[in-house]
Each structure stands twice: as structure tokens, then as C-alpha cells.
Copies of this chain bind each other. A is one copy, B any other.
Amino acid sequence: MAQANLGLAAGKVPAPPTLSVVPPRPQCSASRLFAGRDILGTHDLSMTELDVILETAERYACALENRERLRVMDGKILATLFFEPSTRTRLSFETAMLRLGGSVITVSEAGSSSAAKGESLADSIKTVDGYADVIAVRHPMKGAAQVAADAASIPVINAGDGTGQHPTQALLDVYTIKKEQGRLEGLTVAMVGDLRNGRTVHSLVHLMAMFGNRLMFVAPPGLEMPAEVTAGLRSRGVDVYETHDLEEVIPHCDVLYVTRIQRERFADQAEYERYRGSYVVDGGLLRRAKPGLTIMHPLPRVDEIATDVDMHPGAAYFRQAHNGVPVRMALLALVTGSV
């Protein structure tokens, strides 16, 4: 069949078979799909692109598991530019680059010395553009990753830009759900905590909705999922349920995605204490859960999940953090055309 597609008719002398009949290796097309691209958000990713990322990540996860020594990025340099500290994300990116055989240069100061002297983000990026092969940028300002990508000639990966996007977190969340649940469709996913300000949940909601999952949003009053997000989801036919009550959703969900509620979001401290107390996931609460429940958290946790839950077979939050390495390996390798 492949031969027919290649226009070979019976009686014709075929070209040497090793050249003509071998289908293009998936990594070649993957490379073609992503090489040179920026990863600024998840909204513009197609289903195919998402598949390529998840499959590449899975391939790297196997390589890590088997302690294979990868060198696909030997001689290449990642610049991790963290204009806002985020130890976990920075170390995850750096680990990913080192596991691919590459090297890292890092700025992890709250404000870099150049920024302190009044340099624009674009100028900082234009300088580093001549040092590295790929940039992972973290910045407190929404839209900073786009500014960086516009200034750079090399690929830029958004490692979180304020209230903007954090695509590598969303992708490792999706990867984790697929790995823990075995599928990305037909799931009931509950999201708990500050759903108004959490950029992580916004990106994840978008991705899970793509696959036709049921979504349950559990937030305290004032921190609910923005109305335009829920309206947008419902207009796309997504089944969305909203509540203030965590106990109510527990028996129904396959995935419980917990986030931190930040004290400073509340004017009334008594109200904060009340919600904080009611949104603690502990062994008691989980007795009413479905078997096979997956519990996730982007970390760091404070006390939203009791430590006795860590022993629960579905407590996936540390595995989730570890999944950041193969997912970021996949992105680094794909955008630099190293796959």
C-alpha cells in the first residue's frame, strides 16, 4: 500500500527498498512540527501536537527508568531565566536539560543585575539569545513570555508568566492524568481551591475539556472559576458543575486536583480559616472516594492535603512533580529539533 502511495506500478523497477518503503520516522515529523517553535501556552496546541509531546515524554520517561544515557542535546545550552524565583520549576527544567546531555546557564535572582539597572526584558533576552540554544523564562508579568519570544531568535518556553500561562505545568498535569488513569477521556475531574487566580487550573481545564471530560469546580465564594471560563466551557458542550462543598464531589471524581488557597486573597481572616479548614484532603474524606481516585497538587502544598494521604495509592502529587522532567525533556528536545 505504501508503495502504491509512492506511485510505483507493477513492472516498473523499484527504487532500492530501504529508501523507498521505510515510512518517515515519527520523530522526524515531530521534529518538523516543533523545531524552532516557542511554547508560550497550551491554547494553540492541536490534538496531534499534544499527542507528540505526550509520546515523546513517555519515551524519555522510559529512558530515565532504564537509566539510559541520552546525549541528544550534547553541546547545547539551556538558559533558565527566572526573574521570579521558582525553585521546583527551575530545577525540573535544569534536570531535563542535563538528562538530555545538555548544559545550563541560570539566572535565578529575584531581579537580575541588568534588570536592576533599568534594562528591558527584550534587551536581556536579545543578549542571552547569543549565548544559548533555548530559553526557559519565568517572569512575574503576564505576557512576558510573548515579549521574550518576540525578542529571541531561539525557541522560548514559558515557565510561568504571572497570571498568564504556565504550559509546562499544564502538560505535565495532563501527562500525569494519562499515566495514572490510563486515559484522557471520559473522566470526572474535580478542581479544588483558588480557581479564580490559579493559572495552572485554567490551562488544565482547557486541555481536559478538549477530551470531553466532566469538570467539577470546588472553590470558596469569591475565588470561583471566572464566569467567562465556565460560560465558554458550557458553550462548547462541556459538563461543568460548581460548588463550595468539597465533600459533595468526592464520591464522583476520578481525579481530584487540589490547589493552595492563599491567605492574602481574603479580606476576612475568619472566612479564610473556615475555607482552609473545609478544604483539607485527609484520610477521612477519602473514605468516600471512588476506588482508583488520583489525587494531584501542583505543589508546594501547605496543609491542603494531610501528610497521611501520602501513603494513599492514588496520591500522585510527587509522581506528578517528577513527571515534569520527561515532559520538559520532550519540549526542550522538540523545539530545538533534537528528537
Complex CA gap A88/B130 in Å reads: 11
From residue A121, how far is it (CB to closest CB) to chain B in Å? 11
CB pair A69 B75 closer than 8 Å: yes
In-complex Cβ contact of A87 among B69, B112, B322 (8 A): B112
- Give the contact stretch, choosing among A50-58, A102-110, A187-195: A102-110
In-complex Cβ contact of A79 among B91, B105, B127, B132 (8 A): B91
- The yes or no answer to A126 lying at the interface (CB within 8 A) is yes
Chain A 114-149 near chain B by CB (<8 Å), digits 1 or 0: 101111001110111111100000000000000000
- Which partner residue on chain B sits nearest A297 by CB separation? B123
CB pair B87 A113 closer than 8 Å: yes
Please indicate the chain B residues that have their CB under 8 angstroms from the CB of A91 in the complex. Answer: 79, 105, 107, 128, 131
CB pair B105 A94 closer than 8 Å: yes
Number of copies: 3
CB pair A322 B131 closer than 8 Å: yes
From residue A314, how far is it (CB to closest CB) to chain B in Å? 16
Interface bracket on A = 35 or more
Task: Contacts A87-B109, A325-B131 given; indicate if A77 touches B98 (C-beta within 8 A).
Answer: yes
CB pair A131 B95 closer than 8 Å: yes
Complex CA gap A104/B150 in Å reads: 30
- The yes or no answer to A306 lying at the interface (CB within 8 A) is no
CB pair B103 A98 closer than 8 Å: yes
- Which partner residue on chain B sits nearest A321 by CB separation? B127
- Which partner residue on chain B sits nearest A116 by CB separation? B85
Chain A 48-80 near chain B by CB (<8 Å), digits 1 or 0: 000000000000000000010100001101010
Task: Contacts A105-B98, A119-B300 given; indicate if A114 touches B88 (C-beta within 8 A).
Answer: yes
Task: Contacts A301-B119, A321-B130 given; indicate if A77 touches B95 (C-beta within 8 A).
Answer: yes
- Which partner residue on chain B sits nearest A305 by CB separation? B123
Please indicate the chain B residues that have their CB under 8 angstroms from the CB of A300 in the complex. Answer: 114, 117-119, 123-124
Chain A 82-104 near chain B by CB (<8 Å), digits 1 or 0: 00011110011011001100010
- Which partner residue on chain B sits nearest A113 by CB separation? B85
Complex CA gap A128/B124 in Å reads: 29
CB pair A299 B98 closer than 8 Å: no
Complex CA gap A127/B300 in Å reads: 9
- The yes or no answer to A302 lying at the interface (CB within 8 A) is yes
CB pair B74 A127 closer than 8 Å: no
Please indicate the chain B residues that have their CB under 8 angstroms from the CB of A108 in the complex. Answer: 109
- Which partner residue on chain B sits nearest A112 by CB separation? B87
From residue A176, how far is it (CB to closest CB) to chain B in Å? 12
Please list the 5 inter-chain residue pairs (A to B) with the smallest Cβ-Cβ separation, ordered nearest first: A130-B322, A119-B300, A85-B113, A95-B131, A69-B75
A–B complex contacts, Cβ < 8 Å, 6 sampled: A77-B99, A85-B116, A87-B113, A88-B127, A114-B300, A117-B260
**Can you add 7 more A-B contacts, CB < 8 Å, to A87-B113, A117-B302, A129-B322?**
A75-B99, A77-B95, A77-B98, A87-B109, A88-B113, A117-B300, A130-B318
